[in-house]
Amino acid sequence: MNNSKEFLATLSAELKKDTPNWDNLLKLILAHFDCSTGTLHFLDENFLLQLKSQVGIPEFLVPKLSTIPIGKGMAGIAAERRKPVEMCNLQTDDSGVAPPSAKDTKVEGSLAAPLIYDNKLYGTIGIAKPVPYDFTKAEIDLLMQVGELISKKLK
């Protein structure tokens, strides 16, 4: 993992653009965390999470995760709790947090974090690796910082 300060500076520069390229931003985030799959959902006026960008999600699954209610799946639970939700191996998870279709992503180590700024929820970001993985506290904290930067842009 490269330098976090440099990474946050690069993200901040991208977010200063009038219209950030959310796909490029998500790819940058995935590269930093060495992840293969990711999603970025923004909260709409009906308090539903709407897919803004995704990388690595199989095409047939995109309709299932384009709109997520608060409290459903990893993203919905991260939004509801306003805390990161992590899974070491999504393929073997039986907690009920991830819906059965989530196994079709073929990812294992997964982390979903709320996008929060000034105590207001703006959406969620999800990142995942194709192998079992426990994200470190530093990585989870960094993803929360990323979420805050994105939220400042959306406010």
Checking if the pLDDT of 11 tops 80, the result is yes
Considering only residues 130 and 6, tell me which one the structure prediction assigns the higher pLDDT.
6
Rounded mean pLDDT, 27-36 = 95
List phi, psi (to 5°) of 85: -120, 125
Task: Give the pLDDT confidence score for residue 27 in this predicted structure.
Answer: 96
pLDDT digits (tens, 9 = 90+) for 76-111: 999 999 999 986 555 665 666 665 656 566 666 789
- Among 35-44, 87-96, 118-127, 141-150, the range scoring the smallest mean pLDDT is 87-96
Residue 101 CB partners (closer than 8 Å, separation 6+): 61, 64
Tokens of 58: 């199989």
Task: Give the pLDDT confidence score for residue 99 in this predicted structure.
Answer: 59
Checking if the pLDDT of 142 tops 80, the result is yes
**Tokens 């990812």, residue located:** 107
